[in-house]
Amino acid sequence: MSKNALIQFVEDQVAIKDFPAFSAGDTITVTYKIIEGTKERLQKFQGVVLQRVGEGPKATFTVRKISNNIGVERIFPVASPFIQEIEVNKKGAVRRARIFYLRSLRGKKARIKEARR
């Protein structure tokens, strides 16, 4: 078996949960399972999606939130077994797929308009 065939075989084995559609600019809440020793707990991470990268089981998305006046970004793999659910809170109206300009904005300037339905 070639290297590409092995990678394809592993990607076919990975199960991707069915999450709601979201894109850059949307505000989402990701419920993530955290395992510390023998304990398990669920943690919610709510923020704005900065980007989505890749497709299929290799896809990832980056979420940014402000916590104690410090910007916190987290990259989640879509196929991660630790993601319990993704809830779309707001659909954002942005014109680009990667909204990294949000990193340099603070306060009211960092708001994103809600998309019209």
Q: What is the pLDDT of residues 62-98, one digit of tens each?
A: 999 999 989 999 999 988 889 999 999 999 898 989 9
| pLDDT tens readout for residues 33-73 | 999 999 999 999 999 999 999 887 888 999 999 999 899 99
| Cα four-point dihedral sign 99, 27, 63, 10 | negative
Average pLDDT score over residue span 24-32: 93
48 or 10, which is more confident?
Answer: 48
Q: Beta strands of the chain (E only): which ranges?
A: 27-36, 39-53, 60-67, 70-77, 83-90
| 16 SS3 class | coil
CA 15 from chain centre, in angstroms, equals: 17
d(CA 89, CA 74): 18
Other CB atoms closer than 10 Å to residue 77's CB: what's the count? 16
Q: What does the domain layout of the chain look like in residue ranges? A: 21-98
Q: What's the CATH fold of domain 21-98?
A: SH3 type barrels. (2.30.30)
Rounded to two decimals, the pTM is 0.82
